[in-house]
Amino acid sequence: NRTVSEHCECGLYGLNSPLLGASGLVGIPKSANLQACDANTQFTVTEPTWIALIERGNCTFAEKIKVAARRGARAAVIYNALDKDNSTVLMLHPGAESIVAIMIGNLKGMEILHRIESGMKVTMVIEVGKKHGPWMNQYSIFFISVSFFIVTAATMGYFIFYSARRLRIARAQSRNQRQLKARAKKAIEQLQLRTLKQGDKETGPDGDSCVVCIELYKPNEVVRILTCNHLFHKNCIDPWLLEHRTCPMCKCDILKVLGVEEDVEEGAESVQATVSSRTSNVSTVNEEDNRSETASSGYASVQGADESVLEEHAPSENDNTHLVNNESQPSAVNVLPHIDNPSFEADETQVREVKS
| Average confidence (pLDDT) over 160-188 | 89
Query: What pLDDT, on a 0 to 100 scale, did the predictor assign at position 28?
Result: 92
The more confident residue out of 200 and 324 is 200
CB atoms within 10 A of CB 249: 14
Provide CB contacts within 8 A for 256, sequence distance 6+: 262
Query: What pLDDT, on a 0 to 100 scale, did the predictor assign at position 102?
Result: 94
- The least confident of 95-104, 207-216, 337-346 is 337-346
Per cent of the chain over pLDDT 90 is 24
**Strand residue runs (E) in the chain:** 11-13, 22-27, 50-55, 75-79, 100-104, 123-126, 192-195, 222-225, 231-233
Reply yes or no on whether the pLDDT at 168 is more than 60.
Answer: yes
| Average confidence (pLDDT) over 277-287 | 37
Helix axes 138-190, 234-244, angle to 10 degrees: 140
- Alpha-carbon Rg for the chain in angstroms: 53
Query: What pLDDT, on a 0 to 100 scale, did the predictor assign at position 268?
Result: 40
Instruction: Convert the pLDDT of each residue in 93-143 to its tens digit.
Output: 998 889 999 999 999 999 999 999 988 889 999 998 876 555 555 677 888
DSSP secondary structure of 108-141: HHHHHHHHHHTT---EEEE--------S--HHHH
d(CA 210, CA 256): 24
Provide CB contacts within 8 A for 242, sequence distance 6+: 181, 184, 185, 188
CB atoms within 10 A of CB 170: 10
Instruction: Convert the pLDDT of each residue in 68-80 to its tens digit.
Output: 999 999 999 999 9
Query: What pLDDT, on a 0 to 100 scale, did the predictor assign at position 136?
Result: 54
Instruction: Convert the pLDDT of each residue in 286-316 to its tens digit.
Output: 333 434 333 333 343 333 334 333 333 434 4
Query: What's the mean pLDDT when you consider all of the chain?
Result: 74
Q: Which is it for strands 231-233 and 222-225: parallel, antiparallel or unpaired?
A: antiparallel
Reply yes or no on whether the pLDDT at 273 is more than 60.
Answer: no
- The least confident of 2-11, 185-194, 346-355 is 346-355
Structural domains of the chain, with CATH: 11-126 (3.50.30.30), 164-281+289-309 (3.30.40.10)
Q: Pick from 136-145, 218-227, 287-296, 341-350 the range whose average pLDDT is largest.
A: 218-227
Q: How far is CA 253 from CA 56, 137, 306, in A?
A: 97, 72, 23
